[in-house]
Chains A and B, each alone.
Chain A
């Protein structure tokens, strides 16, 4: 079974929000809800100032606090090791939202359920990339299989690491951080 993952190269992200809006449409999210959020950071003094911005979304942790926190097994791991939410089982208690250390679990008030990035499995099933990957203007995102990395995904995987490993949740997503512009705190 493939172990789907995504690499996000923060050194290439310009914070254009294309991934976030493409994701909202792909997943039919109501206004105000997004699976992707951004953190930015400015360092240094004028004129040597520097800036980076990083997208965050479900890290699909192997040891997912959201899954542990879920009282109804609505949040669970699928056969690819990805974290998914079954809206029919979700009672909207929001314990997963509170449990996620990456703050990427959202509560969709319109439906009364929790949700998060599902890795666009419906697109993956059609041999396409997740919506955020296929629209990324600077190609800062790579989609692939951690067990059988191919092409650019394999090349970039050598430089990529989980972000904020101190959370000890074994994230599936990998990040490449810009040199001297580290955004991990």
Chain B
């Protein structure tokens, strides 16, 4: 690796774990079978709020094939899960029911059918409470407290400059309230775990999950054993998007407790309905935005209030609330800014992490408002955004500045250049209305304000010159293993087929925290790079001795150590590795990548929060059918500043997939509650985008290298969601002349609004 030319990083490469997926050989957690395995199935609450007087499992226990029925009191440990304080969520509810679908008992039986049948026989003696189902009900004076400390999960403020003064000097103020609904992750694989006890007292849990170390901690605590006696192995995971965290700890703990009691392997595999009602959703939101600007479009100040409906338990609400707080002002210079962000409890399925983590909701609100400002001032929407866009050295919402890798202007320019070359949209005729929307966004990469950010990675080279890589973050479909393999291949010159990246096993990698915040490539990749660089020293040092030259004259590439001055002089890496082994050079390294700590004022949220931001600009053209309200997306340009694309093929997949996720939020998807009960907990009634709904996304990138990421890379898993959702809303507003203030902007909503407008006309 000469440092100038990259051979593997930056190439379009196939997924390193692709063959087992296209052949169906990959074992997901629900595919695993162990001798003597039995099946767990939860009994769930059927009312949204009640005091529990008793839970009777005797009939279930008598049912055919049933081996065990667990209630909350049977959990040896604290019967609590949760990723963050306040740790308010029981595994099995014992005193109070807070949402429909909450687990109240687990039945374990010889077959899945027997367990399922018996779970229906669990009887709960309940004293119903009036459910609290909306943000307003939760915040109403005198409202019943869903949790002892009240109905506010958390409340944060961001204060920058003097917002009153900013508004006082304004030529124009644009104000609006914007709402979004709950979204379901909709990963194709419902949650599943399999807990396998072993004779030495240890417990191994194979799990479809996102953050294996969360599972290990909770499972150990709830078993009442040391963490060192629990091993969590991530099985192939069929999508997660933030959704397989809390619920994986719930079923992982339950399966482990049952497995210990029975001394038999226990599998819990959710059905689709359970996956929707019994695991977290995306927060619904109501966001009020007021923006003050000068006539020339310069933003002077923004005053924003974010309210998030977090459902029955805290889950990741505290972090989502902060993420919304920090992102809602957008990728702009806003000298005077006041944001209040609050999350509340309601008696609904809890909300937590979901691809974008508060940013899609915030971006929809902020970008709708910016669009209204552009319209009011008669300024081109892209030009207005460009005028206010952050540049390197500018203070962002938290007052943080970056010397580089602030690529928002480049993404605007790239979209602008493309827009300039496009034919004009057709004019509206009787039936069809055409419109174009743009949206800009930013998304913080790394845990940042959400906690310490350490990743451990190991690289070991065998005597045959192959490499084994372990990293503490998970591949949940996004292609993380491939990125790690490319980095190791690049540094050690080992061809990709000879680099193996293990799945996460808590026994053999360092606790690297959760796989969240688009941090896998950025922070995880850095750890892999560091470990590989250490092993490289041994290989280069050994090869130099073999060549009888100085180390700098040796390069590793294509499976050989070569002389930089004479590429024909080469030694197979297997010979170098073997010699290094017999010479006693270390061929394994464990490295830690630690992102700089966030340091900010908790009262004002001013300070350093994230190690980097991904920036993006989306453009979306639509055609609206005024007879049916149907929207056809004619064009979608999605441009992101990714720092450096490690695997452009995988990166495009992230942008295309993330965009459709956002389009679903904006147009198709809504978890519908009636009296606190989800009434569309299946894929017939919940409109997951199908192949016919796909966007004509054209993924574009600009690369403004991020000094904190490997080869300058920044994560891209989450950011496209916000861009596509907000651009869609703006495109529909442009086409119809109607500003929609709530997502999803469904076909039906559009038709109703068009009809109402006709009436006025």
Q: Answer whether A and B are interacting partners.
A: no
